Chains A and B, each alone.
Chain A
Amino acid sequence: MGVEGIGASVVRKEDRRFITGKGRYVDDIKLQGMTYAHFVRSPHAHAKVKSIDSSAAMKMPGVVGVLTGQQIVDDKVGNLICGWAITSKDGTPMKMGAWPAMAPDTVRFVGQAVAVVIAETKNQAKDAAEAVVVNYQELPAAADIRAAIKPGAPQLHPEAPGNVIYDWAIGDEAAVKDAFSKAANVVSLELTNNRLVPNAMEPRAAIAEYNEAEEHFTLYTTSQNPHVARLVLSAFYNIAQEHKLRVIAPDVGGGFGSKIYIYPEEMVALWASKKVRRPVKWTGDRTEAFLTDAHGRDHITKAEMAFDKDNRILGLRVKTHANLGAYMSLFSSSVPTYLYATLLSGQYNIPNIFAEVISVYTNTTPVDAYRGAGRPEASFLIERLMETAARQLKADPAELRRKNFITQFPHQTPVIMAYDIGDFGASLDAAMKAIDYAGFPARKAKAKSEGKLRGIGLSCYIEACGIAPSKAVGSLGAGVGLWESAEVRVNPVGTIEVLTGSHSHGQGHETTFAQLVSERLGVPISQVQIVHGDTDKVQFGMGTYGSRSLAVGGTAIVKAMEKVEAKGKKIAAHLLEASEGDIVIENGEFKVTGTDKSIALPMVALAAYTAHNLPDGMEPGLKETAFYDPTNFTFPAGAYICELEVDPGTGKTSFVNFVAADDFGRLINPMIVEGQVHGGLAQGIGQALLEGAVYDSSGQLVTASFMDYTMPRADDLPSFKLNHTTTLCPGNPLGVKGCGEAGAIGASAAVINAITDAIGNNKLEMPATPDRVWHAIHGNAT
């Protein structure tokens, strides 16, 4: 069975349904008597809703109902919440403004829903939504961080004077000041981390069904964490009690963080299904995705790094303004704080760090975790600083990094994190070898002779994944625990079902998790079914985000299998008339050590369920559950190097080579791991070169379609050269760290470092479009 166990690049079990068109996504589902919802959305970034006249719409063909924000408030549906409490420097709690699922009186971003039309068909709902007359009184808008914090700025929420949600800090300010006073050199940098739109290819969708007789709701939804959705919908939004709400997240077409949150549309669909006593379906279109899916990043940062005369880092001082949009999304508060500032030590020994983060409201779409969530912003900042320092100190960028690498583990940083293990030098060596770093000057000279500007850029990233243990995140303000659950059911004939609280929306859990079972219990992966995404089937679980599924969810499966094995050994010992201590398990056989006596797992399972001959007092059955809470975060790390050419005539960038050397600990399925890295790199490169959400000063999102927002296409990207180095994670029995976000965390700095190296101008914002690059080369920088 080794060919299907840990370390085998087996093709994915789930693929057949996707390549034959038999996937089952939310919008593919039809229920008897289903109606269709279409939202009436604000065209203004900031306005009072003076009145809503739905009389004409109600007379349109097929209209079942028009529901408004006032009705949802009247029905006491709870406001959307942010589930991570952050405390400002002055000890005051974060300032959260009210966010009703549909706006009863004030809209604060373009696209915010004010009413919903329910009709017999999608087209009828759309037509009738056009006929809903909303009378707005426009208010001045603050469309970005600078506009929101300047004196006299429009105020979004009465709860948050000056639009400041919190003014938070981490680290020892006095110690950093002292470190800077002793510095031989100080390197400073100001940068923007551009706002991104996640754009999972499947738009969000929801189908809600209310069963009157049972007073029970079913919600099919595009969720990365259906149990969390059920918990929030019941405990905070008062729509249904937890045991009267089933949440199903079937095949989900990508998430990247954007499908963690419980959005207004899903809430409204549930609430409306009870109002109209019919199933209600809402499927977002791409424009709605641009306007309402939580965006990512959007920081403005000033940072300074102090070095001694030997180019060793003495201290780091960071001040970041983070844009959280018009409302606080579910985990928004944690992203620029505990997911960002705690990673500001990067791979380096930085004895003193002080970071301040001021998060503000603006009249824009809410911002929350998007692939990497805070860690890309930290990595981009640190790696841009290191590159800037190398240039300023006239040091080799690789050697400056190497000199400051953390080499002893565990390592306690000054910003909470305790790195458990790593070998940063090994991944840098591997990347430098893969790209022939030593040969770069000759290649640069050759390119120059051909009229091209060639550059090379390094990025040595580290991230904290798993986002656990629960006690630690709880002490930092998280409203939930971040463990994971698993149930392993060995059926009477020996096939196995694994029910996991993780959710797969592209990550390949149905294969990777089956490989864990194959390795441990010796069954072929074809005999293993991974069940996820349905709160009626699976015990409570926390879902998939933060590269946590394998390190946390996979370990829960291992823990459940340990219990299965323990019980199986007892049964086998009884049947084989041997001592339990003499039973060993090899390739699915329970063997009596030192003899030829053995019994296969299916026979043990059958004995467990027939229960004709079990040890005295043993319960029948072979099914075990585990809830696993890790002891620490995991710390994937690696080095990316990008080599590219810039055409000085056009400012266009062309990749020559992009190499990665990642340390994810043990790899269960290297093929899937590499696929995750490819996708992450594409998103990181997309941020660096192509993507950026642009609002005009009135708060209109001018990049609200694929015509205007540049998604990376096949011809924008190179093929990648991936390498792996390995230090096994000591925090879990699999030795795994997580791989889902690395590419998005590390890639953007490598690209910008390479372009700025090529053009000899360190001032360049993302996305580094040909226009921006051309101006950076020729002056008049935009």
Chain B
Amino acid sequence: MSTVKLTVNGKAVSADVEDRTLLVHLLRDHLNLTGTHIGCDTSQCGACVVHIDGRAVKSCTVLVGQANGANVTTIEGIAKGDELHPMQAAFRDNHGLQCGYCTPGMIMSAIDIVHRHGGKLDEETVRHELEGNICRCTGYHNIVKSVLDAAGRMKVAQAAE
């Protein structure tokens, strides 16, 4: 057992966990942040993507010890109160989700994609970048639309800041 200390969604947290505990289990089982999902056991599906120090990471690939001291953001931490993150709003407005299970990971990956590519996103790049996130419902058509839409919204939001 070890004690880990990290920041999750802006709050300092600590937990006593088995050394083999994965970050995704810390989030779900110890911190009750169940928006981060588990869809596979081989780090393929991306349902568990969170941000660690601003970068999209599959939280099933991270032992909690590796996240000690890190700044973690989950799907529960991206809206500002009642105001949705532009990526969340774009997924809703473009019907970018159906069953909702892959959605948190998709949104967290997509935010990172927009951050890394800035205004230079096109459909092909979005499709290539989403390779690590599997959705079984949407055929990705509306997810791609959502990400491109959000890229525009995020640029506008950034310009306004």
Contact = CB atoms under 8 A, between A and B. Distances in A.
A714 B140 contact: yes
A203 B38 CA distance: 8
Contacts of A252: 99
B134 A201 contact: yes
Interface string A254-288: 10100000000000000000000000000001110
Contacts of A714: 126-128, 130-131, 133, 135, 140, 143-144
A679 to B, nearest CB: 5
B151 interface: no
A679 B137 contact: yes
Interface residues of B, number: 54
B91 A675 contact: no
B25 to A, nearest CB: 8
A671 B101 CA distance: 19
Contact of B34 (A12, A28, A123, A256): A28
Interface stretch (A160-168, A481-489, A503-511): A503-511
A201 B47 contact: yes
B44 A671 contact: no
Contacts of A17: 100
Contacts of A505: 99
A188 to B, nearest CB: 34
A741 to B, nearest CB: 13
B99 A253 contact: yes
A717 interface: yes
B40 A200 contact: no
A609 interface: no
A19 B127 CA distance: 20
Interface stretch (A47-55, A340-348, A575-583, A703-711): A703-711
Contacts of B135: 201, 714
B88 A123 contact: no
Given A16-B92, A705-B44, A714-B133, A682 B38 contact: no
Given A21-B75, A286-B41, A705-B40, A200 B97 contact: no
A674 B96 CA distance: 11
A200 B127 contact: no
B33 interface: yes
Nearest to B32: A30
A679 B138 contact: yes
B138 A19 contact: no
A20 B95 contact: no
B98 interface: yes
Contact of A20 (B18, B88, B126, B144): B88
Contacts of B91: 15, 19
Contacts of A506: 98-100, 137
Contact of A286 (B42, B74, B76, B124): B42
B136 A678 contact: no
B16 interface: no
B141 A720 contact: yes
Interface string A17-39: 11111111101100000000000
A523 to B, nearest CB: 22
Nearest to B75: A21
A678 B39 contact: no
Given A202-B37, A679-B138, A123 B18 contact: yes
B104 interface: yes
A353 interface: no
Given A675-B95, A678-B142, A705-B42, A201 B104 contact: no
A201 B144 contact: no
A538 B102 CA distance: 28
A202 B102 CA distance: 8
B36 interface: yes
A254 B138 CA distance: 11
A596 to B, nearest CB: 40
B141 A18 contact: no
A719 interface: yes
A12 B141 contact: no
Among A14, A20, A678, A717, max chain B CB count under 10 A is at A20
A705 B18 CA distance: 26
Contacts of B136: 199-201, 254, 256, 679, 682-683, 711
Contacts of A123: 18, 20
Nearest to B143: A714
B39 A201 contact: yes
A739 to B, nearest CB: 13
Interface in A101-132: 123
B130 A713 contact: yes
A556 interface: no
Nearest to A706: B44
A21 B35 contact: yes
A707 B20 contact: no
A506 B104 CA distance: 15
Contact of A11 (B41, B95, B126, B138): B95
B35 A23 contact: yes
B99 A254 contact: yes
Nearest to A705: B42
B76 to A, nearest CB: 4
A681 interface: yes
B20 A12 contact: no
Nearest to A256: B136
Interface string A182-208: 000000000000000001111100000
Interface string B91-126: 111010111111110010000000000000001101
Contacts of B107: 19
Nearest to B35: A21
Given A12-B92, A675-B138, A681-B139, A21 B126 contact: no
A251 interface: yes
A113 to B, nearest CB: 18
A19 B146 CA distance: 12
Contacts of B126: 714
A339 interface: no
21 contacts: A11-B93, A11-B95, A16-B92, A17-B100, A19-B75, A20-B76, A25-B101, A201-B39, A201-B102, A252-B99, A253-B37, A286-B40, A286-B41, A678-B140, A682-B139, A682-B140, A683-B139, A711-B44, A713-B131, A714-B126, A717-B139
* Nearest 8 CB-CB pairings of A with B: A21-B35, A18-B100, A253-B101, A682-B139, A506-B99, A706-B44, A21-B75, A506-B98
Given A21-B76, A705-B42, 10 more contacts: A11-B92, A11-B95, A25-B34, A201-B99, A201-B137, A506-B99, A713-B130, A714-B128, A715-B131, A720-B139
Interface of A: 11-12, 14-25, 27-28, 123, 199-203, 251-254, 256, 285-287, 505-508, 671-672, 674-676, 678-683, 705-707, 711-715, 717, 719-720, 743
